[in-house]
Amino acid sequence: MPKFLGIQLSPTIVQYEGLQPVMDRIQDVGADAICLGFGIARPTEPGQGRREPPLDIDGWERVLDRPLWGKRELWLQGYRTHDYDAALFADTPYRPGGVLAPEARDRALPHAIIAEAHARGLRAHVQASPTVVPGLRPEDAIVLPDGSHPDPARRVAHQGCLNSPAVRAYGLALVRDTIRHASAADGLCLDWVEYTVYALEDHFACLCPHCAAAAHAAGYDWERIRRDVTALWDRLHRLTSRDLERIIRIAERPWEALELLQAYPGWLDFLRFKAETVCNWYADVRHAMDEEGASTMELGANGWAPPFNRSSGMDYRALAGIVQTVRPKLFTFHWSALPRWYGQTLLSWNPSLSERQILDALVSCFDLPDDVQPRSFASYHIPAPEEDHPATPESWRSKLDEVVDQVGGRCRCYAYAHSYRSEAQWKRMITVVRDSPVDGMWVQRYEYMNDNKLAALKGMWP
């Protein structure tokens, strides 16, 4: 039986390659659906606007497979394609960022893409990131156990706290605004409605007053949560070699983790609280969509794959009763750098430890098996285009199996596979997802698939 195939794309690539050529290629590979954002962009001078592709902290070697305006990396100035309804944002100090695209043909492009997809028998979804707030105020930012905010230079998603009333009001207003301007879309996919964990510190977010108030209202013992989360934070600042050996042992014998949960019961409460926060967000989004007359529009949830999802708040088991699709991310170029990103933090906290010891523990703890020997920070980075990502295909499959088991058939589960990788490893990714129990695959994104990768997808996908 054929499996679902969806392809993400940005209107920007359509600006450059043209609507018909892009849709011809997407239809030719056998896609069932597309997903797009509603912004457009124009080339600008280096250092202005944003780099494309995004750096994602330090990914200077990452470039596009399909050039934009003749370049595989460039700087773009982004634009909105519609005016927002100011009345929707009356309950929040925040407003959508950016300026309106100057040309009417550019502003109409997302609608033209959706219409063309429908004309070809494809479904069309839109994507939004409602927790990424322009001009975030300090009082709405995430707070770590030591009272600091996350380092902006080490953030991929510049989110506000999910429990901030101002952030929540902004996010729900943005959802309503998106639905009104994309009423023809078949689905809405949300990204970064979770506590993202690109940095080790992110696992300890968030301990702000908004979270305290929300936890108290939900019946949690906030003082126990704060005490145990802070205690674990402090413990990671005084690790020994023996502690790292123990971490590896616990990863191999998970029943030993029960001792840690007994020692830090507030940590388990913290994970439950974050999961409840994310589920409440999605429930509110679904309610807003229904109120806007979009009850038949699918709601999809992008999220971190296991085991990261437990700390990010993406409780796929609970979300399966709220959303219509979940999309665990196989963004393995991020996984390639995580051991270094996390490891450098641990080393700064514990200078007496060695890189190898730290990396061995992290790779084991987060189920990122690889063949890297000897392990050093230099080996873990966002790969170059033809450089294979170190985490093994077996780990890709195990993470998909876990999410499928969590949702238990109560909603559809699609692998959200990033195509930024070598052509050979892309074929392995297609094979792993195809042969897994997921309901299908969303590919992120068209711009990272050259003609050879598109041909592989066409030839290998059922």
Question: CA 246 to CA 169: how far, in whole Å?
Answer: 44
Cβ atoms of 383 and 411 within 8 Å: the answer is: no
pTM comes to: 0.97
Question: CA 42 to CA 76: how far, in whole Å?
Answer: 5
Tokens, residue 64: 């596009």
Can you give the pLDDT at residue 103? Answer: 85
Task: List CB contacts of 299: < 8 A, sequence separation 6 or more.
Answer: 187, 188, 190, 282, 285, 286, 289, 322, 323, 324, 325
Cβ atoms of 55 and 153 within 8 Å: the answer is: no
3-class SS of residue 184: coil
3-class SS of residue 375: coil
HSE (side-chain half, CA atoms, 13 Å) at 461:
26
Where are the domains positioned within the chain?
Answer: 4-460
Question: CA 226 to CA 173: how far, in whole Å?
Answer: 31
- Which amino acid, one-letter code, is at 353? L
Tokens, residue 52: 């494309």
Q: What is the pLDDT along the chain (462 residues), one digit of tens a residue?
A: 789 999 999 999 999 999 999 999 999 999 999 999 999 999 999 999 999 999 999 999 999 999 999 999 999 999 999 999 999 999 999 999 999 999 888 899 999 999 999 999 999 999 999 999 999 999 999 999 999 999 999 999 889 999 999 999 999 999 999 999 999 999 999 999 999 999 999 999 999 999 999 999 999 999 999 999 999 999 999 999 999 999 999 988 888 888 888 999 999 999 999 999 999 999 999 999 999 999 999 999 999 999 999 999 999 999 999 999 999 999 999 999 999 999 999 999 999 999 999 999 999 999 999 999 889 999 999 999 999 999 999 999 999 999 999 999 999 999 999 999 999 999 999 999 999 999 999 999 999 999 999 999 999 999
Q: For residue 38, give the nearest of 90, 106, 94 by alpha carbon.
A: 106
Question: CA 446 to CA 16: how far, in whole Å?
Answer: 13
CATH architecture of 4-460: Alpha-Beta Barrel (3.20)
Can you give the pLDDT at residue 1? Answer: 76
3-class SS of residue 48: coil
Can you give the pLDDT at residue 357? Answer: 97
Can you give the pLDDT at residue 256? Answer: 84
Question: CA 304 to CA 314: how far, in whole Å?
Answer: 7
